[in-house]
Copies of this chain bind each other. A is one copy, B any other.
Amino acid sequence: MTVPLPSWRPGVIRDALVDFVDAVTTPDTPTFVPERERIAVFDNDGTLWCEQPVQVQVAFSQARLKQMARTNPAMADKQPYKAFLEHDLPTIHALGKKGVFEVAFAVHAGMTVDAFMQSAGAWLADARHPRFGRRYVDLVYQPQLELMSYLRANGFQTWIVSGGGADFIRQFAEKTYGVPPSQVIGSTVRTQVQDVNGRLDLFKLAQLDTFDDREVKVESIGLHIGRRPIFAFGNSDGDLSMMRYTLSGPGRRLALLLHHDDAEREVAYDRDFRLSPLVEALDHADAYGLRCVSMARDWATVFPPEQETGGKGAEARNGARRAA
């Protein structure tokens, strides 16, 4: 028998994953679930990729703000832009998660959705993590890539339900995670269709439409999926409603909570992370029926192996290491 999840260490969590998938996919058993109802939802920041020391979308909006400040230098003295431009993390985090994302989204107002996607794609192709020196899209969690593939191979749909911007995540989710744009749910700004020389395009406005966090994640699941998931994976109190909603339906269900307890290979944080704290879900995991995943204990590897291809990529990487 081949092991389906090589980057997951043997133990209660890997057993729980395999047992769950076996239970819902074995025909003619009371726990069987038809394929169309095999819905799995994953948070993104901190669940599928590294969100420390800075949310990737914040870094993206910092880059955009720098560009804007060149043509409008007065921005550099105005809060909250000043904090973003100066990478003043305490001030940024003091805005709260919603406030941070509102700034991050507002800086792309006036662009078409297509132009935004191109801009995000160009930035993601090069931008690197300040500590690890690798591209953000390469700092996804290898065990989660394997888990999503394993679920899909067993007839599941894998959805992302994130507080991050839906369009930003859609830019890389298909290539990186194998999740198509239509299965990415996230925070959104209002958009407006406009006729430009007889051609209709969709433009981003500055106004936040949905901030997809906490209870709103459940409402978004109702809006986009129209079915209660049977599997959920999160890492903060922002994911707790989604996990509890998943567990509140009939039949076999599984909800997992990733605990970042691995300072050596990634970062150790939970209740003190102001932007997205993990308190209630951690303290009441048993009462809510959540299974806690320890990054240190349960993951044999954290990030995918580095592709040392040399050439331009490796040079840029070394440059980033020197700069960090």
Q: Point out residues on A near B: beta carbons under 8 Å.
A: 36, 113-114, 157, 166-167, 170, 174, 180-184, 188, 190-193, 195, 199-202, 215, 218-219, 222-228, 241, 244-245, 248
Contact = CB atoms under 8 A, between A and B. Distances in A.
A233 to B, nearest CB: 17
A277 B5 CA distance: 56
A34 B75 CA distance: 43
27 contacts: A36-B174, A36-B180, A113-B222, A114-B228, A157-B182, A166-B223, A167-B226, A170-B226, A181-B225, A182-B225, A182-B226, A182-B227, A184-B226, A190-B219, A191-B219, A191-B223, A192-B219, A193-B215, A193-B218, A193-B219, A193-B241, A200-B241, A200-B245, A200-B248, A201-B248, A202-B222, A224-B224
A190 B201 CA distance: 27
Given A202-B218, A218-B202, A188 B223 contact: yes
A245 B166 contact: no
A191 B226 contact: no
Contacts of A201: 245, 248
A226 B167 CA distance: 7
Nearest to A113: B222
Nearest to A196: B248
A248 B199 contact: yes
Contacts of A224: 182, 224
Given A201-B245, A202-B245, 5 more contacts: A36-B180, A182-B182, A188-B223, A195-B244, A200-B244
Contacts of A184: 226
Contacts of A114: 228
Q: Which 5 A-B residue pairs are closest in the complex by CB-CB distance?
A: A181-B226, A193-B218, A200-B245, A199-B248, A200-B248
Contacts of A223: 166, 188, 191
Nearest to A36: B180
Given A225-B182, A226-B184, A218 B200 contact: yes
Contact of A219 (B167, B182, B202, B222): B202
A200 B215 CA distance: 10
A211 to B, nearest CB: 14
Contacts of A228: 114
A241 B191 CA distance: 14
Nearest to A241: B193
Contacts of A202: 218-219, 222, 245
